[in-house]
Amino acid sequence: MIASSQQRAATVSHPALSNQDRLEMYYYLKLTRECDNAILRLYKQGKLVGGAYTGYGNEATAVGSAYALEERDYLLPMHRDLGAHLVKGQSLRNTFLQQLARGESLTRGRDGTGHYADPALRIYGNVSHLAAMIPIAVGIALAARMKKQEAVVMNYIGDGGCNVGDFHEGLNMAAVMKLPLILIIENNQFAYSTPTSKQYACQKLSDRASGYGIPGVTIDGTDVVRVYETCRKAVDRARAGDGPTLIETISMRMHGHSAADDASYVPKGMVDEWKKKDPIDRFERVLFGDRILTEQSKRQIEEKIEGEITGAVEYALEASYPPGAEAVEGVYAP
């Protein structure tokens, strides 16, 4: 059985993970992977237009980081962080309505992927200019403090996006004002087709934190428990008023930038090496070894996920597109 969101809220505030927490994290890892597979199938069938992006290989970073948050906290994820959306409470129905640009979606069919806001869950999805989200996250953190919400803001950026001016300006302001911000650099080896060796000269991107006078740490982004524990510490620090933390997670983008990208620029053998550190397989072995997961409970989780995704996809496919007459409503300022 997977814990309810209410049960998780009661345990997630403590850094020690229970066996039930670890099973739920496993569920979210698997759910994220299968959601991505469903999105790719819809794209290949011509039922989903626009970009189709996956977090294959990045699931542990997305799930582990968001699992450290509470309901009052804000989430500003990127296009490979579907797992963070799901952990924060986003429904599968909303996820696929959004992907398929239906009229019932959170953007009323005006956009797809993660380009949406859900104020009820305090999720503010990505814009295409990813680094531009950082100053927005800083503004939310400042507003939260002014309102005495005791809320934390978690934002993500890639290894490419952290080389943009918004990164420096936003993180510097957050550091100077000691705002409750956690910024996660998802270092997945490529910024579209540009390898990290051609992006920066420092050894670790987290070393930049010292320039802002804040803590910086680099961790294995395929280890979901390590990600959670690191982010939990950063969340507690931010909530206590001690300011932001910069966290660099190391993983591998196992697919191309999007479904339209064949990733032919990736050196041969590199993906095969990283497959050995698949975050789901890795955590599954740990759970089996600790006798928390059994073959029977694994099948139950897989069947649960299959049923949930099938139901959400079928509902979204049957939903209507927005009427053409409403196409520009809410898009342009009056």
- Domain residue limits, the chain: 5-11+19-321
Convert the pLDDT of each residue in 168-224 to its tens digit: 999 999 999 999 999 999 999 898 898 888 898 988 999 999 999 999 999 999 999
Verify whether residue 253 is a known catalytic residue: yes
> Rounded mean pLDDT of the chain?
92
pLDDT band at 302 (very low <50, low <70, confident <90, very high): very high
Of 202, 212, 247, 208, the residue nearest 229 (C-alpha): 247
Catalytic residue, candidates 265, 285, 299, 321: 265
The per-residue pLDDT for 332 is 83
Among 139-143, 186-190, 245-249, 293-297, the least confident range: 186-190
Percent of the chain with pLDDT over 70: 96
pLDDT at 15: 53
Phi and psi at residue 244, in whole multiples of 5°? -80, 165
Q: Which CATH architecture has domain 5-11+19-321?
A: 3-Layer(aba) Sandwich (3.40)
DSSP assignment of 193-254 equals TEEGGGT--SS-GGGGHHHHTS-EEEEETT-HHHHHHHHHHHHHHHHTT---EEEEEE----
Backbone angles phi, psi at 235, to 5 degrees: -65, -45
Give this prediction's pTM.
Answer: 0.92
pLDDT, tens only, 259-280:
888 889 999 899 899 999 999 9
Catalytic residue among 226, 257, 282, 315: 257
* Tokens describing residue 93: 């129905």
Give CA–CA dist 67/62, Å, rounded: 9
Q: Is the predicted pLDDT of residue 61 greater than 90, yes or no?
A: yes
pLDDT band at 1 (very low <50, low <70, confident <90, very high): very low
Which two tokens mark 9? 């809220």
Question: What angle, 0 to 180 degrees and rounded to 10, lies between the N-to-C axes of helices 19-44 and 59-66?
Answer: 130
Are 312 and 93 in contact by the 8 Å Cβ rule? The answer is: yes
pLDDT, one tens digit per residue, over 136-165 is 999 999 999 999 999 999 999 999 999 999
Residue 8 reports pLDDT greater than 80: no
**Residue located via tokens 């104020």:** 119
Q: How confident is the model at residue 124 (pLDDT cuts 50, 70, 90)?
A: very high
Which residue is catalytic, options 8, 33, 79, 253? Answer: 253
Residue 328: pLDDT band (50, 70, 90) is confident
